[in-house]
Structure 1
Amino acid sequence: MRTKNSWGSVIYDKTRNAYRARYQNPHKPGSVVQRVFSDKLTAQGWLATEKQLVEADKAGLGTWTHPSEREAQQKAKNERNNTVFKDYAVEYVANWRRKDGQPFAEATKRKHREYLDHLMTASFINKTLASVTEADIYKWLDTPMNATPRLRAYQLLKDIMKKAERTGLIERSPVIMKAPKLPKSKQAQIPVATREELETIYASMPEYCRIAVYLGACFDLRINEVCALQIKDFDLRHKVLHVRHSIGKGEGDRGYRRLKATKTTSSMADLSIPDALISMLMEQIDKRDDDRMLIESPKTGGILSDVALRRLFNLAAAKANRSDMHFHTLRATAIDTAIHQGATLRETMALGRHDDEKTSVERYQRASPERLRELSNTVATSLLPLHRTREDVESEVAETRERLARLESELAALNERDGQEILHR
């Protein structure tokens, strides 16, 4: 049964036991626009409403769009009006990925959850995304909170709102204020290690892991990278260290330590092995198989955990009267030593495997392999223990005698000049 009028039609569909309302698409002749309803009256009402929209479009009083497009817009509007910030933030952190699309390391995910916990203290978390205001954010920032958690949670909030704006859930992000400032890092204020302090720490650590001190100081390695080193990572013939792994826990930041990817892509690097470190490495390797760990756990023979190595380092540092020092201070020691040896900013970034260099540095300064090898040797020579040989002492004595002879000659020339001046008076 079909009900016709001068515009569109309503047809009874026996199969569905429903009414189909339809009319000609005003923008695509020959194409039909239709919807199905459970009763005839509703179908006729929808048809009447559609007629008004089409006539308004023809009269230039509005723009007709397909019902499917209007329904999608309404759905998006409803989503904007109903999406609660808390739900959106939790989902954002759960699906957070690195810039290259890969998932973050488990330890990093744990940090993200900590930032989220700090953000969840805000009073606006149960509001819809669209209703969160600048005033809400300022109020939250003014609440008592440690500086670092406040900054990290703020940065997370900014990322969340930026995505909401980008996907159309909000028209404009309310996070437009300046980021909270951090006080100067306490770790950044810790003095770097001296050669003598490194030697004391090295001697105070167990023999099986003491080389970690100079691996950290000479190569600017993180403690997780030191623990991940295998024999095969060292090419002593070509004097190259291949940094390829870090260590970390398993899924959910749980379980035993295992080899994992480095912290960042730039952390993977081929580093020059200083000449002064070769003999120490050969002694540590001691003809062991390539797949063995450079520093093995005395209990398992496998990976030594970063927690265990850090504890041993801290005990040794205390014996050097440097209880303030962390293993991470060795990274600062390497960079500081390189800078004082005349390294450029680009060279120190290459040595430290940092990926935040500025365009000007990338374009106009270069760190050649030869210069990096020279720099690596200079750093190691400045930090490794002094083992002076007879030849070293004899060479220094000869240099001193030569310098003394030059000074005596210069003094004699001055005396002769002064004597001539007196005669001429």
Structure 2
Amino acid sequence: MGNRRNFGSVNARTSKSTGHKYYEARYRPPIEARAKWPNLPQYITKNFPQRHMAEAWLSEAKSEIDDGRWIPPVIASNRSAAFQVTFGEYAANFVENRRKKNGEPLAITTKQKYEQYLRDYLIPVLGNKLMGGITPKDIQAWADTMPLGAAGEGGAIKRKVWELLRAIFNHAVETPLDMDGTTLLTKSPVLIEVSKPCSDVAYGNVSAEELETLYQAMTPRFAPVIYLIGIMGMRPGEVTALQRQDIVLADDLSGGIIHITKTAKPIRVPDSETGGGHRDILIGRPKTRGSVRDLEIPASLAGILDKHIRTYVLDAPDSFLFTGERTHTVVDDQRLRNAWYNARRSVPRLEQRGLRLYDLRHRAASVVKTYTNSDKTIMKVMGHTQLSTDLHYQHAIDSENAKILEGMEHDIRGLHRSPNSEKVVYEDAPRQQLGMTSQLPATPIDDAESTPELMSEYVKSMPLNTQVAFLEAMTDDVRTAILNVLPFGVAKKILAHISEKA
């Protein structure tokens, strides 16, 4: 039965699901309000357990309309929402519903990383505070809980946590809650900035000799990882995800292709029964669209990969290149890091700097830049998608890729490895088998202008038959000098034809 009033109405109702009685109060919003809020409903409605509460609500609404103070109840509620939700609640909802810029949901590994940042660094300090009550002083108090070491240790993780904190408050400032554009906060309390760590501290420079030392010291079944990251510029996750079918080597090991189509990411698998969980490795899509790419393999690295595959990889297309010794499943990222830590001790300078395995990729990028001036070609090799302002006018062309491949070949060939019981020497041994010395002669070929390097450039531009005829006319010393500076695959093909004719 309804109770008609001069303003609004109160009606007794009974819940169909519970049978409980309640009172529904409703009124028409003021006509003039529709000019500002055209999507207002026909009636503003609210339920109450007792009649007098419904009556009081209607009286308050009538008073606000008469005084010109009325705003839609949902907007009024949103204006006070900042003092109704804690940082912990808002941050958890932010991470759970966060989307990439393209609208896709976050990768599970990214979401778990954010959850860890909240759990370990933010919730302990800010979790119980109301969003509307957090001040710049509170943000500074959080920053003080993550002091940096004397050499900047801890700077990288602090920066990442700060980026998440900033994103949470920016979302609260920028995301409308209603048709009036009301946001949870009007300004962010995150006024401080945590600087990115100094690249010199994070990366350092790794020379060819140091890279070779790391390779020699690495656990043999993981040793090629050093070159795949430090010379080819692959991400550690991309290397870990490699399968036998992703490596296509030339029959004569003069080169090949690495197909990069996936990446390995550590994840935490929750256990609903115990409330705990365990770590696992997820093989999924690479970091970006540009990360899917093919890399040409230098000849010297082709031999290393061939030996590794024959020694450690099961004979199936989907067998992983780097596996546990007993499990033969994809290697756990922590096991690979432990092998890296052991190898890093062989280079005290890098050990002191705490060089990460990932930092070898920065080493590769720096070296690749010396091979070509094409930024777009570099980004294609490294799997990047962010381009500089003038990059739009550059092109990744075959000649630039060839420069990079040749540079990688020289980078590997420049490492003078000594044989040991664990590793096969791919630089000098094959050349000795082909009747080639490992050093260039000290004297020029014909005159001061004709060096082996210059002559090799002429040879590389010739057809194979012409190359063979040209080198056959040379003396043994001169021929050997030229072959020594040619790419290994080219030199091998030439000598194979010379041997056939002999």
Task: Give the TM-score range, shorter chain.
Answer: 0.7 to 0.9
Q: Quick one: which amino acid aligns to residue 243 of structure 2?
A: Q
Q: Match of 1:62?
A: 68
1:281-296 aligned within 5 A: 281-286=305-310, 288-296=315-323
Cα distance change on mapping 1:51 and 1:269 into 2, 3 Å: same
- Structure 2 residue 205 is matched with structure 1 residue 191: yes
Cα distance change on mapping 1:83 and 1:45 into 2, 3 Å: closer
Q: CA deviation at 1:263?
A: 4.1
1:7-406 aligned within 5 A: 7=6, 27=31, 56=66, 62=68, 70-100=72-102, 101-106=104-109, 109-110=112-113, 112-114=115-117, 116-120=119-123, 122=125, 125-141=127-143, 145-146=147-148, 148=155, 149-167=157-175, 168-177=183-192, 179-185=193-199, 187-194=201-208, 196-205=209-218, 207-236=220-249, 239-252=256-269, 254-286=278-310, 288-319=315-346, 324=351, 326-358=356-388, 360-384=389-413, 385=415, 386-387=427-428, 388=431, 397=441, 400-404=444-448
- Please tell me whether the aligned partners of residues 276 and 377 of structure 1 are also in contact (alpha carbons under 8 angstroms): no
Q: CA deviation at 1:291?
A: 1.3
Q: CA deviation at 1:104?
A: 3.2
1:91-140 C-alpha deviation (Å, 9 max, x unpaired): 43454454443333437624652355323454x65432122223433454
- Please tell me whether the aligned partners of residues 205 and 313 of structure 1 are also in contact (alpha carbons under 8 angstroms): yes
Cα distance change on mapping 1:320 and 1:391 into 2, 3 Å: farther
Write the distance in 2 (CA, Å) between the matches of 1:114 and 1:22: 46
Q: CA deviation at 1:152?
A: 3.0
- Please tell me whether the aligned partners of residues 371 and 403 of structure 2 are also in contact (alpha carbons under 8 angstroms): no
Per the normalisation by structure 1, the TM-score is 0.74
Q: Quick one: which amino acid aligns to residue 62 of structure 1?
A: G
Q: Quick one: which amino acid aligns to residue 163 of structure 1?
A: H
SS in 1 for 2:231: helix
SS in 1 for 2:281: strand
Write the distance in 1 (CA, Å) between the matches of 2:160 and 2:438: 58
Cα distance change on mapping 1:399 and 1:259 into 2, 3 Å: farther
Deviates more, 1:343-352 or 1:291-300: 343-352
Q: CA deviation at 1:22?
A: 6.6
Q: CA deviation at 1:382?
A: 1.7
- What 5-or-longer segments of structure 2 have no aligned partner? 16-20, 35-41, 149-153, 176-182, 270-276, 416-426, 452-502
Q: CA deviation at 1:189?
A: 4.9
Deviates more, 1:18-27 or 1:98-107: 18-27
- Please tell me whether the aligned partners of residues 90 and 116 of structure 1 are also in contact (alpha carbons under 8 angstroms): no
Cα distance change on mapping 1:228 and 1:133 into 2, 3 Å: same
Q: CA deviation at 1:155?
A: 2.0
SS in 2 for 1:400: coil
1:206-238 C-alpha deviation (Å, 9 max, x unpaired): 554332232222321233322221011123359
Q: CA deviation at 1:142?
A: 5.1
State which structure, 1 or 2, has the greater radius of gyration over its C-alpha atoms.
1
Per the normalisation by structure 2, the TM-score is 0.64
Q: Quick one: which amino acid aligns to residue 184 of structure 2?
A: L
* RMSD of aligned Cα (Å): 4.1
- Percent identity between the two aligned chains: 23
SS in 2 for 1:241: strand
Equivalenced residue count is 391
- What 5-or-longer segments of structure 1 have no aligned partner? 408-425
